[in-house]
Amino acid sequence: DSNAALQDEGSSVHRALMKYLDAWCLSPDSWEYNLHAGRLLLLQGRSREALQHLQSGLALRPLHPALRFFTGLALLHQEQKASEDTEKEAALFLQQGLEHFVSQRCSKSWVDQDPSDPLSGLSTHFLRGLLTLGQLQQRNTLSGKAVSAELVYHIVAVLTAQSVSQCVCRGEASRQLEWVLLDAHFALLQRLIQQSQAKTGTERPSLVAKRCQALAALIRLTSIAPCQELLDMQERTCQLAVVTTPRDSHTLCLLGLAQLTQYDNNPNSERSKEAIRDACLSFQASVELELKTQSGEPPEQLSKQKWWQDRLQAENKKAPKQSAAQPAAAAAAAAKGPCDTGVAKRGAKQGRGGPSQGRVAVTKAPPAPVRGAKAARPPARAPAARGRAGAAAKPDRSAKPSNSSTKAQLPANKSKQERRPDGVEKAEVVVSEADRVGVSSPVNRRSHVPRLGLARALSRSADTQDQAKQLYREVIAMAPGVHDVYIELVQLLEPADPRAAVDVYCRFPLKPVAEQSFDDAFITGETVRLLMSQEQYDHPQLGSCLVAHGKVMGLSCIEKYIDILDAKSMTRLLKSIYARIHDRQEDDEELQDFFKFKCWI
């Protein structure tokens, strides 16, 4: 929804706005003309004029859902920053528009949505407004029973996916809907990361990693033309996946592909050298981690990348603030004595972030899971420590917490726990270690994809092309049926050693001619081109490649090569080629007549 394009006098939006303004001039008291003029002005970024029209229409129809919805949007898009009360009013209007849409969609009388309806799932303006509602709800603008931000984002994602599937032509409307779909899923990813930072558990990192990989795949498959904004979203998504699972070989490979795409998009930019260097490091880390577990320290190659260094610096700045609050809390808890500590352990509320009073109790919590690995299972003899890492023990059901102090019934074996704290601690630690050893971390699989990515990254520089050639050969050995590997390796070899380029193409495992595809035909066509340019007319692969290429692409594609061979008097080869293309014997009567006509016999 570029304002520059929408303000173009030749655009359909501008022409529609002019028509509605003409109609509004003839009938200023029409709420409908005010609605359409206001929302189109809002699309063009003229929010002040839009608000005047929408408020005029709202005065005529105070309960109209579309008027209230777009009035809320206009309030948020004014030049002056909206106040807290204005944001609440706007969020209320937006939520009422969403509730109206859902109620209409769920009614029995609902039919296929009209694209001209302002509150339609096919309208990117309406869907963008819902995304704005989700952003407001992330700050809890509306309290009480208001819809949550996650639910809003999920609704937008579902509606947009349905709308994209209804777009027959991949035009501008489809691309705008795809942008909304990507923004909704990226917002859901950010919300999931925020929740995983507030709550610990074995499922959170895996969910974040899966959503990152799914969003990265969606970005790669979108029909949106490559642009800087899209590439930045792709790279940011892959970075979040690497932060969640830094030793996942596949995730590091995806990050390398995103960084390589950034370089290819603008090789002459200021970030190009950094992008290609980071891409090589990511691919190298992915290759080194193959057949290794995903648990442990992040690879060394990550620490050499600027974005990773910036992230560590940001975390180090936050660490002193969190650690400064720990000694004071520990001292206050220790001053209460052992009995008070035991009570606080069972009655304290579990906080989202900082230290809890249960940390000074005798029983140790299980070790925090290593980033990128599955968390260890909690000890079997310490069920109270199950749950959030570092949190207080589970309160007793009979306890009645209060605001000032919390009293809970002590268990019957409390005296034993106090008399033998060391034994309990050692036993629980042993069980925890045994459980941690028993939990197996996922092992990275071996793949040709990171090697291919590293070869492509190294081939961008003339100084590292020899390393790229070696990697291409490794990829061919691992995945001999990938066409792009042969094509890219030949592009590196052909200028200096065309015979070696021919040998590379000859190693491609061709299927029977009847099963060959257009990709196979490209390989055979390039082989013929190289052999003919080097005048290797007696090469054993020339005839079979000409036959395969002619059968798949047609005789017209090899006519120029036939003429060259005819001029060189390669009649025996020509007769064999024609016979094999037509699936006949050379002594066939019709072919013999054709050969006589061509003076080949």
CATH code of the domain covering residue 47: 1.25.40.10
Instruction: Quote the percentage of the chain above a pLDDT of 70.
Output: 77
According to the model, what pLDDT value does residue 324 have?
60
Question: Which tens digits make up the pLDDT trace of 42-52?
Answer: 998 899 999 99
Amino acid at position 377, single letter: R
Compute φ and ψ for 201, nearest 5 degrees. 170, 165
Q: What is the rounded average pLDDT of the residues 297-311?
A: 94
Is 544 a domain residue? yes
Asked if residues 417 and 404 have their Cβ atoms less than 8 Å apart, the reply is no
Interatomic CA distance for residues 344 and 354, integer angstroms:
16
Query: Residue 580: which of 547, 545, 540, 550 has the closest Cα?
Result: 547
* Residue that finishes a domain, picked among 212, 230, 248: 230
Interatomic CA distance for residues 266 and 228, integer angstroms:
9
- The burial of 83, by beta-carbon neighbours within 10 Å (0-12 exposed, 13-18 middle, 19 or more buried), is given as exposed
Q: Does position 379 have pLDDT exceeding 70, yes or no?
A: no
Calculate the average pLDDT of the chain: 81
Is 144 a domain residue? yes
| Among 152-161, 249-258, 314-323, the least confident range | 314-323
Give the residue numbers spanning the domain of 514.
509-597
Is 482 a domain residue? no
Query: Residue 514: which of 544, 552, 554 has the closest Cα?
Result: 552
Q: What is the tally of structural domains in the chain?
A: 2
Question: Which tens digits make up the pLDDT trace of 160-218?
Answer: 999 998 887 778 889 999 999 999 999 999 999 888 877 665 567 788 989 999 999 99
Question: Which tens digits make up the pLDDT trace of 445-478?
Answer: 999 999 999 999 999 999 999 999 999 999 999 9
* Residue that finishes a domain, picked among 203, 230, 257: 230
- What the block records as the tokens of 177 is 């809907």
Instruction: Quote the percentage of the chain above a pLDDT of 90.
Output: 59
Three-state DSSP state, 111:
coil
- What the block records as the tokens of 462 is 């003339």
Is 556 a domain residue? yes
Is 205 a domain residue? yes
Q: Does position 521 have pLDDT exceeding 90, yes or no?
A: yes
- What the block records as the tokens of 57 is 């229409």
Question: Which tens digits make up the pLDDT trace of 264-282?
Answer: 999 998 889 999 999 999 9
Burial 449-474 (b: 16+ CB within 10 A, else e): bbbbbbbbbbbbeeebbeebbebbeb
Is 485 a domain residue? no
Query: Residue 451: which of 467, 465, 472 has the closest Cα?
Result: 472
Cβ neighbours around 520 below 10 Å, total: 20
Query: What does pTM read for this prediction?
Result: 0.75
Interatomic CA distance for residues 238 and 560, integer angstroms:
48
Asked if residues 125 and 43 have their Cβ atoms less than 8 Å apart, the reply is yes
Task: Spell out the residues 6+ positions from residue 182 whose beta carbon is closer than 8 angstroms to its own.
Answer: 215, 218, 219, 222, 224, 230, 233
Highest mean pLDDT among 163-172, 326-335, 361-370, 390-399: 163-172
| Among 313-327, 374-388, 436-450, 479-493, the least confident range | 374-388
Interatomic CA distance for residues 54 and 38, integer angstroms:
5
Angle at CA 551, nearest 5°, toward 550 and 557? 25
Three-state DSSP state, 539:
coil
- What the block records as the tokens of 344 is 């606080």
CA-CA-CA-CA dihedral for 143, 147, 153, 156, to nearest 10? -140
Asked if residues 87 and 141 have their Cβ atoms less than 8 Å apart, the reply is yes
* Residue that finishes a domain, picked among 186, 211, 230: 230
Q: Does position 243 have pLDDT exceeding 90, yes or no?
A: yes
Is 308 a domain residue? no
Task: Give, in order, the Cα–Cα distances in Å from 583 to each of 422, 509, 592, 597.
Answer: 87, 22, 14, 20
Which ranges in 439-588 belong to alpha helices (H)?
449-459, 465-478, 483-493, 498-506, 518-533, 540-553, 559-567, 571-581
Is 495 a domain residue? no
